[in-house]
Chain A
Amino acid sequence: MTESRKTSRPSRRDCVRGLSVGAAATLAGCIGGSFSGGSSGSNGSGNDKELIFWTDYFSDENDDPWEKWYKESFEEETGTNLKVAAFSYEDRRQKFLTGARSGNPDYIEGVLSHLSEFVKADLVEPIGDRAKELDYFDGYVDGAMRAMEYDGKLYGLPFTGNGRALIYRKDVFERHGLEPPQTAEEFLEVGRTINEKEDGMWAFHNCTKKGSVRAFQEWMSHVYQHEDNLYEREGDGWTLVPDAEVFAKVFDAFYYRVWAADDPIANPEQKGTGWQVNDPGFLNGQFAMIECGPWLRGWTTGEEIQDAERTKALLDEKSAVAHLPRAKGGSKGTYLEVKPVMVNANSGNKDAAWEGVRRFTSPESLRKQKEAIPDSGDLATPVHEDVESTIDNENWKPLVDVFETGKPLAKISWGPVQEAFWTEMQNVVYGKKGPDAAGKDLHSQLKSLESEV
């Protein structure tokens, strides 16, 4: 009986041993998990049965038929389950920079500034050899493909692209006998006329929020009207291209005189706002001009839109597109946005990850996207010649010309540059500094970043 009790009831020592083993196993699990990268696994065995793709495409229900086709055809081809996770671009960038070495995700869709950061951090895989074997490889737009390269190697395939243009209210311009402005002086003159003659509408709005990537892109669009690059490769380093005068001109024409001067053409009460005010403001009829891309075309619903019918009419009949106005000495040019899809260099299954990239960026996928979302702004200026533009409205066709003048970002680490820009831009917008002083200060800061970027 005693023996039996002894064997059937665990002793105190057994309990402690059990607890210790349990704790050790838990810790091992924690530590092991943090290094293995979770579900994707990254042991390099190449036998993983689940792949992870980070993109926020597919998060909209309109994407469903495209997503269904993509997932099913991918899983059928590779025998691997695909898990898609959606994060904002900023979250995605941060998580990838800190966690990609774990092998998770296996491939990622990002923006152009991410590509250079990820390449510098050795986080993405060169895919040139594989890509050149694609029978549709030559059909990608040259500018978009150049944007995917770093030091002569291809690190991503593009799937959407656009250039920043001036989107303006054609009906308002016609009503007052105005032409789309080409120079900064015309732009400011047109702006003042609209402010004077239109009630309940401001002539212009651009993004001035600290930390706004969109604000940075708008500013870069104007810098590209003066130079092909902000930084240029020189030997092993980078050299700042524009001089302080270029920065001063851009600050003066598109920030100081727009927001801070005596007769501003934008609503001074809207300083410090981002795209959340910019785009819906135009779509709701509050602004006559904004700097924007083709995505605006498809934005006719959602909580930001006050009247869907009115917005649709505004986009279809009352809006048009032109090149951005230029400060003195500038020529046509704009920020080229191309979104790359890249393979994680630490993925445990690079073959399947490449297949995911290839399939997502293929002309077939782009056509499926177009079927699912016929007015998609992502395909207004397609990055592959086998795909037709979704633009069928004459007023919006100049977007194609604008796209052709687009210039891709230099392959540097953009974070410190953006931080310097936001500070000086807000100094100008809030009247803390004149455009000349801000231009000089920004130039000196960017010059000092040459060795860091």
Chain B
Amino acid sequence: MATTTTGRERFGRYAEEFRWFLRETWLGYALVLPTTVLLGVIVVYPTVSGVWISLFEQSLINPGDAEFVGLGNYARMVADPTFWLAFKNSVLLTAVAVSLEYLLGLGLALALKEKVPGIGLFRSVSMVTWVLPIIVMVIIFRWLVQPDFGFVNIVLDWLGLPTTYWFGNETWAFPLVVAMHVWRNVPFFAIALMASMQSVPESLYEAAQLDGAGPLQRFRYITLPQISYVSMIMIVLHVIFTFNNFDIVYLSTGGGPVNSTEVLATYVYKQAFTSYALGYAASVGVVMLILLLTFTAVYVKLEET
């Protein structure tokens, strides 16, 4: 009897706590609900749908006529040499471009931080490349390297050096794609890192100077650790952006010459819209998603430790 009463009391207390919990938090849940539903529609649904499609052989021409193949698309991918070439190019492009962007962005940030006359104007001008639409940037680069009247070739010709259509050159097309990424993104790195540097208390530098630390030591032991969080965010963002980037390669080289600039993003597009292989394209997309999620998780974890 006594046990029953205790049980009832306990249940009553839990019920009361639950009611209190609902009373105190229902407004919060209600406010979060629209965003959650919206994200579900525009993020979760397409992602799950993409993973689902990757298990089917489905054609763009007749999307309703899909055949379940399980992991068949993934098995095909493993045996596909063009996939591996695109994979290698994507990793190489991302590693080289983001590394250069970070190093050059860091250098530019140190320059932009200096208090010299006209620096405000220089800071604004330095952002131009990042603000330009990608198509405009690609057109500028295409014009620069045109065989006969491109500025680069005119200068090379004037110096007595060989000229060519650089985007059509197997050796130089890939470095040129890297150069476009770097040219575009260095200012963004610089502005973000400069903002981070400006938030470092001046007293730290003064104390280090009193202790006899030189400029390099101050940079190594004060600046770099203080900007590491912003650096991590910028690197993660740009790894994702570069790895997923489609338009720079597609508009400048189309993946050529002889597949030398083919990357996973252009390969997915071609599989879906040229070869009509929606399922296979989705499976490559899923692999890209997994790679980027893994990179982000590992990098963030390493940064925390």
Contact = CB atoms under 8 A, between A and B. Distances in A.
A30 B41 contact: yes
Interface string A406-431: 00000001011011001100110110
A117 B275 contact: no
Interface in B24-50: 27, 30-31, 33-34, 37-38, 41
Contact of B165 (A98, A271, A418): A271
B62 interface: yes
B175 interface: no
Given A16-B30, A415-B274, A277 B147 contact: yes
A272 interface: yes
Contact of A419 (B146, B164, B169, B274): B274
Interface stretch (B93-101, B220-228, B251-259, B284-292): B251-259
Given A16-B30, A23-B33, A120-B61, A267 B147 contact: yes
B258 A427 contact: yes
A422 B256 contact: yes
B254 A210 contact: yes
A27 interface: yes
Given A19-B34, A267-B147, A416-B275, A272 B61 contact: no
B188 interface: no
Contacts of B170: 430
Contacts of A212: 254
B72 interface: no
Interface string A13-24: 000100110110
Nearest to B275: A416
Nearest to A449: B275
Contacts of B30: 16, 19-20
Given A210-B253, A419-B274, A423-B259, A31 B62 contact: no
A16 B167 contact: no
Interface residues of B, number: 37
A270 B168 contact: yes
A6 interface: no
Contact of B169 (A12, A22, A272, A418): A272
Contacts of A422: 256
Nearest to B270: A419
Given A272-B165, A276-B142, A306-B149, 18 more contacts: A16-B31, A19-B31, A20-B34, A98-B60, A117-B61, A209-B256, A210-B256, A211-B256, A270-B147, A270-B168, A271-B168, A272-B253, A277-B146, A286-B148, A413-B61, A413-B276, A419-B270, A423-B258
13 contacts: A12-B27, A20-B30, A22-B34, A23-B37, A98-B60, A117-B61, A209-B168, A269-B168, A271-B169, A272-B167, A273-B168, A415-B273, A415-B276
Interface of B: 27, 30-31, 33-34, 37-38, 41, 60-62, 142, 146-149, 163-165, 167-170, 173, 250, 253-259, 270, 273-276
4 interchain residue pairs of minimum CB distance: A272-B168, A210-B256, A23-B34, A211-B254
